[in-house]
Structure 1
């Protein structure tokens, strides 16, 4: 398994520092007072399961509770902490939803109190001294406080924080529980962490050290001079800026380390005499197109180099990527290595296996979850002993029990359907294996890597001869009756229709027509010509539904995204996509590619909710206006962002926990300069290992595995 260890120090000092971080890297349930159930709730608001993730969840705001006036001086709208004695208590009538009511007096004035919590109601005892804190409100001609944030015996006033952080909450999680967990987490911060920022930078900006910055952020009452004045706000802002710089610096360093590791990572030279390729092409009966020859030359040149290939083969639906992949796999076989092709669905994987078996002069083995018993044992044995030179399968290929004799090339088809870890797991079953990703619309994260120059891209232009454009149109769901009438006319003219729904069955959370509900409605209108295929069906039933549609026994196939890839039915000429705004650009492009495969004109109707957001409208408009998968992928990148090149997110804008957008622009240049000092971009790839301090920084920000993740494409 590759890792960035070649770029980090293994000195005793570094190991000691990393050992000191162990409590911060431990699960949330390791904190005192946090059980497994509460840890799950905390993980929801932090986005991670480590203690450090909790510390990296900044408050949304800070409530200033330092104002402690006499009741004669309070005014509506102020947040005040008040001490007084309960004059009278008026409990609610039994079984009612009325609040407990009381009046508080401090000798200078009175305040009405209303609480709905039984626990707070129990604190309202006549003549009892109380302390409470919250927003003062005006009720007619009287001042009051409804459901105070704090209501405690006056002797415990110190339990009300003077500066009160407000963290986000989730159902079942209360602010006091977050505060308790945060206090326990802060206590685990080592006091002597090594400093990774330049001392001159810290002095110039008056930034505190890392641990102090976290204390100030999560417990602003610990800031000097927080008892009075506004000096605490300036300290708080400095803590925010320092931590934002730390996060951006960790990101910059992780990217540099990952890029270096990728470029320095040893590969294997795979060359051949082309004999197997020629045998395959002779069976195929056609010469490769100029576009196929061009991209194959690029791929073979990469495979011949003594470094790992990481290449994306981008070609539109039907452009001939499978033949190129087969030629690359046979080149690996010619060099004595195995090659594996992983597809996201069994339908597509079996299609590939059938194609490769027909065209390959060397043995091809198929593996999926449905391969059981003796057949599975035989397949696993032939993969392990190298008899299977070409292997085709589904996610089953990444399972622990699958061992390769010598995996030299990994091909991932429909790359956008796999996660980073799945791609990595298969890649790591080989020794320095090359990787070829194939898709019509690459995920934004992969486009991001190509822009870094750390993944090469081969674009396969053109479509099969005779392929006609698909007429694409947008329709509001309110026009459903008109759409059904149009489909009725199309059926009379002999059309076959795909109808794609985003869900299998009705969802209470989303008001979306599901496949089963839509199937029932269309059956009622059109009769037995309607079929149904979705991922929760028994595989035999689903295959029969697809077969019935392919042979024309059914004329409308209601389906989910199980038909997104691997379904080739040239007679289908109409694609209806219900709630198209719920699908991504890559999915929409793939779904549309299921029609337009024959000689007849084809149509794609994208049905959408009337209340479309601007991003969804832009996405659907892009699909309507172009069939160019390259343009669609670029638009997807622009709309969704490139994800995290050193993490597992495959799309989205960069997500920083401690660096809000307004700080990123101000501090990014500083972080870049600091990264340039620690790991200069001009330094050779054999540069000295990282010192202890930046190694600790990367570990704290969960970037220690950046090089491995980066390698997953």
Structure 2
């Protein structure tokens, strides 16, 4: 019964949602009523003002009221079933068209008035509405009036379907407000019930902003209270005594001077290391900005204090690259050890060490060391789960923690994903690199075009080709296996290599080495090459089924080309032409800032998708006020006071705030 619904109820308890829809909603990470209510709109269609037909414009979403006539159903020359209807008002006429939807004709009564909403476009030379939403009469409707919410969808679950379920569910629930009314009043915040109703079905833009602000404040409270309580439980770290003479010597090992961004980041890390309080810092910078330099300089200081360091990378390939870099530039090359599944070496424990490996490294290093871990650096932090960070906090003493990322994480999201954390941004980009030219290519056009690529291969360029899958899983989605065969057929004179996660680690390295040493060759790979691959003569990358990747991930991949100073080219080939996906991919043509793209990606897809952390899929990054520093600071101030004055009340509030 609807009256028995609660936020914690399984989604199957909602009227009209059976096992089939439960499975489909699971693809959207909707398993409970709370998940459904917090499936916030990605955007809104402004249907507040119906327009006359004569004012309809190409590709501008509009709503109008018209009578319908002349319904007819027929097959096109290509075998598609088409239904067409004429819509007419006092100002003119327009055709409405549906494909493979014979039922629509049964719903239409000639001469009756309908409210019609959609985005007109030119088809066969005339302005037409393809698959519009129609509602009988001219009364208010969830789908054709006001600000109409549009949601992230999946096959079989449309925005229209979600609107009706969310509307019904909101009507069946009450939301007791866990926040002190005085705090809400002081900060101009609405109550929770109003906020949930207005975020989904606002009557105006003002209502939408008010609800967004309140729901964002809840999330800021949850993040801050969690971080403050967790921090209070932690023990001590080791304090590192910094040696300026060693620092000056370490700098001489590099064939370049530090950029201002690198110098500032090193100063901030050194400040962290000098305290006994456990520190957690995120070091961010574009690929090639020199983040690794900051770990090497910090590691030298730790070894000099007779303590150890662990450096973890997401792949063996990147771990081996780090080992090579550290061995070349560290002031303590004899204190470096690579520990991976391939090396099968036991950790050296009789002297302070810099241990380098993958995420399994923590399980291989004994907890009790003669020279305990004082610093742990995790490269590409979003590849690691929360569990590894919790393991670190169980050690005594607790190591200082550095997270490095070329995929920028806005501070608010970092606090939600990684806990209480400071941030260092290395904004300086490599000076020898030209901006990579990014192109979106229609899949049919790309299939027919080979001349330009053939010319570039003849000139000695190497080409990366990226696919989302290893084998053919979904119809039409590019796989390494199928694309490798196509490229071998297309470019028979060129060597075509394959690289993916199912190859053994030593095989992966062999493939990479051969590709690097073979001019005019092609490497077809999964996103395994996203990090840690440096092949200067590879100036071209083609990403097939590009819609399957996030913006931040595509930006990372783009950073693999043009690294030798020559012009880089980045081609995005979607599986099929899709207006919404093309608009999303166009953001890569518009922006070259990783931070901007990360924010856009987070708003479009959510943190769980972007960072591969499904447990954090609930971070409401689609809310605009979630990015407000002022609101976050207000929530932090309130959280600190609450934890200090009444920790038990803070814990109870945290339970009520949890999604």
**TM-score, normalised with respect to structure 2:** 0.61
Aligned 1:312-711 pairs, distance under 5 A: 312-358=282-328, 359=330, 360-361=332-333, 363-371=335-343, 375-376=344-345, 378-379=346-347, 382=348, 385=349, 387=351, 389-399=353-363, 403=367, 405=369, 406-415=372-381, 417-421=382-386, 424-425=389-390, 427-430=392-395, 431-444=397-410, 449=415, 454-463=421-430, 467-477=432-442, 478-480=444-446, 483-509=449-475, 511-527=476-492, 529-552=495-518, 555-599=521-565, 601-609=566-574, 610-613=577-580, 615-622=583-590, 626=592, 631-641=593-603, 648-649=615-616, 653-654=620-621, 681=638, 687-692=644-649, 695-702=651-658
**Distance in 1 of aligned mates of 2:313 and 2:273:** 21
Aligned 1:23-62 pairs, distance under 5 A: 44=26, 47=29
**Distance in 1 of aligned mates of 2:640 and 2:621:** 27
**Distance in 1 of aligned mates of 2:320 and 2:567:** 27
Deviation at 1:459, TM superposition (A): 1.6
Deviation at 1:278, TM superposition (A): 5.6
Deviations 1:532-562 (A, max 9, x none): 1122223343322212111116611122212
Give the count of matched residue pairs. Answer: 513
**Distance in 2 of aligned mates of 1:540 and 1:53:** 43
Select the structure of larger CA radius of gyration: 1
**Distance in 1 of aligned mates of 2:496 and 2:447:** 17
Could you tell me which runs of 5 or more consecutive residues in structure 2 were left unpaired when the two chains were aligned: 1-5, 14-18, 41-105, 111-152, 158-164, 198-210
Contact 2:314-2:384 at 8 Å conserved across structures: no
SS of aligned partner of 2:616? coil
Contact 2:231-2:420 at 8 Å conserved across structures: no
More displaced 10-residue stretch of structure 1: 433-442 or 39-48 = 39-48
Alignment CA distance shift 1:389-1:498 (3 Å): same
Contact 1:45-1:170 at 8 Å conserved across structures: no
Contact 1:267-1:305 at 8 Å conserved across structures: no
Aligned 1:60-459 pairs, distance under 5 A: 197-198=180-181, 250-258=218-226, 260-261=228-229, 268=237, 269-274=239-244, 277=247, 280-281=250-251, 284=253, 286=255, 288-291=257-260, 292-358=262-328, 359=330, 360-361=332-333, 363-371=335-343, 375-376=344-345, 378-379=346-347, 382=348, 385=349, 387=351, 389-399=353-363, 403=367, 405=369, 406-415=372-381, 417-421=382-386, 424-425=389-390, 427-430=392-395, 431-444=397-410, 449=415, 454-459=421-426
SS of aligned partner of 2:223? helix
Deviations 1:99-156 (A, max 9, x none): xxxxxxxxxxxxxxxxxxxxxxxxxxxxxxxxxxxxx99999xxxxxxxxxxxxxxxx
Could you tell me which runs of 5 or more consecutive residues in structure 1 were left unpaired when the two chains were aligned: 1-23, 32-36, 59-135, 141-167, 173-177, 218-242, 704-713
Alignment CA distance shift 1:403-1:602 (3 Å): farther
Contact 1:28-1:50 at 8 Å conserved across structures: yes
Deviation at 1:347, TM superposition (A): 0.4
Contact 1:445-1:651 at 8 Å conserved across structures: no
Deviation at 1:696, TM superposition (A): 3.5
Contact 1:25-1:50 at 8 Å conserved across structures: yes
Which is bigger in relative contact order (C-alpha 8 A, separation at least 6)? 1
SS of aligned partner of 1:494? coil
SS of aligned partner of 1:687? helix
SS of aligned partner of 1:535? coil
Q: Over the residues paired in the alignment, what is the CA RMSD in angstroms?
A: 5.7
Deviations 1:453-474 (A, max 9, x none): 952223252426xx33154131
**TM-score, normalised with respect to structure 1:** 0.57
SS of aligned partner of 2:282? strand
SS of aligned partner of 2:644? coil
